[in-house]
Amino acid sequence: MFKFAIWIIFAIVIVLLPQFFSSLLSVSILNQMAIAIVFALSYNMLLGQGGMLSFGHAVYFGLGGFMAVHALLGIEDGNYSFSVTLIPLVGGLFGLLAALFIGSFSTHKAGTVFAMISLGVGELIAASSLILVSFFGGEAGVSGDRTYGPTFFGYDFAQDLQVYYLAAAWMFIATLAMYLFTQTPAGRMANAVRDNPERAEFIGYSARRVRLISFVMAGFFAGIAGGLFAVNYEILTEQNLNAVTSGNVLLMAYIGGLGFFIGPMVGAVVLTLVNSVLSHYTTLWMLYLGIMFVLTVMFLPSGLTGFLMMHRTPWHLGKIRLLIKPYIVTAIPGAVFALSLVAMVEMAHTSEAEFVFLGASFNSSGPMSWGVLVAIALASFIALRRSLPQLREAWAQANAIETGDQP
């Protein structure tokens, strides 16, 4: 009943979101988020749930997307007539077929073998996309137009907001379907095979077949995400199936948290925001993204969701307030330290003589500016280190179960 309520709330939230974020820019970001959520969740069917590290998941996203654009073109030419709302399904089915073919030989083993095959296939498809011009359109890609075909209850999808409702509906259905998959025998055996493929064989399951099922499902949902991308942007290029896109979806799933169903959703939302907001302010956003990934791997191995979930015990014990002050005491020097580093990186990068950062003006080639920034960085770093023992102690206290206190 509780779970059912969560899905209802989720549906209400995605319906209401454009009321609060109605500008063209925010609707376009919301569309990106919806697509990224489906894509990242499909990736986690491989990595988080199935233990298959893929470096080429964009292949199924891209192939689905290209097929969807061709379907859009087919509708435009009058070859067939169906609603644009079904385009993501075209992408999904093509992604499924591609995954069925590639999975038939790549899911034999997990681990390094699988990872290397996924990398190889990814490069292969990305390279051939520039050669097979009739399907992939070469460097220019393939573009279509989503406004043809029969309208859907008056929607012709000329506006981004209408596309949002289409993407949100598909995202909701796909999310629900992927969640339900985790609750089925095949979904649960995917976890078992991830944990111990050998023992899975001794309880009657072919580890390979279990992996293949997850792989095909992941391909299907990645294809749906690709189809949504096609409807949203009306163009697909080689970039949509190359290693960068594959790497990006890995980042989303990992930073969000592989061990939780909502982890990749959190990652997709956060990274989409980071990408679109940061790229407005700095050309170095890829660098910061990379650093964020490394820090997550080092300090938050279970991702942002894992970090939030760590607070369940203090929350149940009613001790969460013990953590507020230590968090602030640590966060302030932490933020200052991070910003001073960012300032130095940006100052080294700028070609202008005057460098303005957060309202402060620096001479980008003056030793004084560097001296000041290094001093701030050092001071804040020392303050950060000093604050950590208190935070640790507060954490231990907040998690301590006193007698008679056990939940």
Partner 1 sequence: MSLLQLQGLSKQFGDTKIIRDVNLEIQPGEKHAIIGPNGAGKSTLFHLISGRYHVSSGSILFKGSPIHNRSPFEITRLGLARSFQVTNIFPLLSVFENVRCALLWSMGYRYSFWHLLGKARALNTRTEELLEEIGLHARRNLPAGELAYAEQRALELGIAIASGAEMILLDEPVAGMSHTEATNAVALIRKVTAGKTLIMVEHDMNIVFDLADRISVLVYGEIIASDVPSKIRGNPRVQEAYLGEVVPGGSDA
Query: Nearer Cβ to partner 1, position 75 or 210?
Result: 210
185 lies in the site for partner 1, by CB under 8 A: yes
Q: Which of 16, 25, 128, 199 binds partner 1 (CB under 8 A)?
A: 199
Residues in contact with 178: Cβ distance below 8 Å, sequence separation at least 6, in sequence order:
41, 42, 45, 217, 221
Nearest to 52 by CA among 142, 116, 146, 139: 116
CA atoms of 109 and 129, how far apart (whole Å)? 27
Query: Nearer Cβ to partner 1, position 107 or 245?
Result: 107
183 lies in the site for partner 1, by CB under 8 A: yes
Query: Nearer Cβ to partner 1, position 200 or 377?
Result: 200
Dihedral angle computed from the Cα positions of residues 38, 39, 45 and 51, in that order, rounded to the nearest 10 degrees: -150
Query: Nearer Cβ to partner 1, position 58 or 200?
Result: 200
Q: Which of 151, 206, 279, 283 binds partner 1 (CB under 8 A)?
A: 206
325 lies in the site for partner 1, by CB under 8 A: no
Query: Nearer Cβ to partner 1, position 205 or 285?
Result: 205
In Å, what is the CA distance from 158 to each residue of 144, 154, 162? 13, 11, 7
CA atoms of 246 and 239, how far apart (whole Å)? 10
Q: Which of 72, 89, 142, 213 binds partner 1 (CB under 8 A)?
A: 213
Nearest distance from C-beta of residue 183 to partner 1, angstroms: 5
CB 72 within 8 A of CB 148: yes
CA atoms of 261 and 268, how far apart (whole Å)? 12
Q: Which stretch binds partner 1 (CB under 8 A): 33-41, 94-102, 166-174, 209-217?
A: 209-217
CB 178 within 8 A of CB 41: yes
**Helices and strands (H and E) in the chain: how many:** 17, 4
Query: Nearer Cβ to partner 1, position 56 or 197?
Result: 197
Q: Which of 205, 261, 293, 381 binds partner 1 (CB under 8 A)?
A: 205
Nearest to 246 by CA among 260, 263, 225: 225
187 lies in the site for partner 1, by CB under 8 A: yes
Phi, psi angles (nearest 5°) of residue 151: -75, 160
195 lies in the site for partner 1, by CB under 8 A: yes
Q: Which residues bind partner 1 (CB under 8 A)?
A: 180-181, 183-189, 191-192, 194-196, 198-206, 209-210, 213, 217
